[in-house]
Amino acid sequence: MAVMSGTTAPARAADSRSPGSRRPTRRGWKVTPWLFLAVPLGLLILFTYVPVANMVWYSFTSWDGFDAVKEPVGFKNYVEIFTRPEIFRVFLVSLYYLVGAFLQLVLAMYFATVLSFSTRFRNWFKGIIFFPYLLNGVAIGLVFLFFFRPGGTLDALLGLVGVQEAPLWLGDPSLVNVSLAATSVWRYMGLNFVLFLGAIQSIPNEQYEAAELDGATSWQKFRFIILPSISQIVGLSLILAVSGALSVFEIPFIMTGGANGSETFVIQTINTAFKFSKVGLASAMAVVLLLLVLLVSWVQRRFFPEEKGDLA
């Protein structure tokens, strides 16, 4: 928008002075915003929409990933997805991450609230909480692999407080997803925390002062001032959390490779495409995931309508 208004204003000024050169100038000014947009739009189309269109096309073929011929098979891949229960069963794994994500939001909100008031060492704490988000996901995966292995860091720490028979954090199928979801919480809480903190700090101080004069408690300040003021950010975070939980990939892929019952939908898609050379079916799975995420976002928007702005 800034580009548009910035360019049209001088255009009009030029018009009034030299009517003779009116036409070409105006045409020139009309083209200008598109010239500015050409590069980003070109990149967007080239690297986002063309690949997505390709993916949709592959999803209607039985392509294996490198054959010169892509044979169309109609809706066969989609039928296969919805008739093979094991393909959808992996979404149960996402539930662990969903629970983790809610826990993560609550924790982030707690820390953001506490640290937005004057707390001792608050900048230091802010740094500590945000730091994991800056780390490379692969590095986190490897670090936690050593953390969770038998006799690793976690077991050694537990040994200090007297726990001798520590479970296999990644080896035990009933624990593996909890361990992985916990790693994910550790990693992504920093992002939510920063989002919440920013929103909380934009609340004018007068409101707290007025509340204090009325004798509000800390909880009441949180419930009636902070929460309503950051509701938009909370809505956005919820959408991100749910779509994130549906498409978990990095941490389980690096740490367990999806083994031992930790396979998520995206890992399954990758395996289908590159281990079993069924790129067609895998593309269909990716399209289904995309539609699911869109559906979830839409439902959420229906239930949490935003009052103003277009953040989400």
Distance of closest approach, residue 145 Cβ to other proteins, in angstroms: 6
104 binds other proteins (CB under 8 A): no
- What does 151-171 look like in DSSP terms, one character per residue? TSHHHHHHHHTT--S---TTT
137 binds other proteins (CB under 8 A): no
Instruction: Name the nearest CA neighbour of 247 among 279, 184, 293, 283.
Output: 293
Distance of closest approach, residue 293 Cβ to other proteins, in angstroms: 25
261 binds other proteins (CB under 8 A): yes
148 binds other proteins (CB under 8 A): yes
Distance of closest approach, residue 138 Cβ to other proteins, in angstroms: 13
Q: Which position among 17, 275, 302, 308 is part of the footprint of other proteins (CB under 8 A)?
A: 275
Q: Which position among 77, 183, 192, 256 is part of the footprint of other proteins (CB under 8 A)?
A: 256
Binding region for other proteins (CB under 8 A) out of 6-14, 38-46, 99-107, 172-180: 172-180
Distance of closest approach, residue 268 Cβ to other proteins, in angstroms: 10
C-beta of residue 69 within 8 angstroms of C-beta of residue 86: no
The helix/strand/coil state of 76 is helix
DSSP code of residue 225: I
265 binds other proteins (CB under 8 A): no
C-alpha separations of 83 from 64, 110, 252, 266 in Å: 21, 43, 26, 18
Residue ranges of alpha helices (H) inside 117-217 are 122-134, 137-148, 153-160, 176-201, 205-213
Residues near other proteins, by CB under 8 A = 64-68, 145, 148-150, 152, 168, 170-173, 176, 256-257, 259-261, 271-272, 274-278
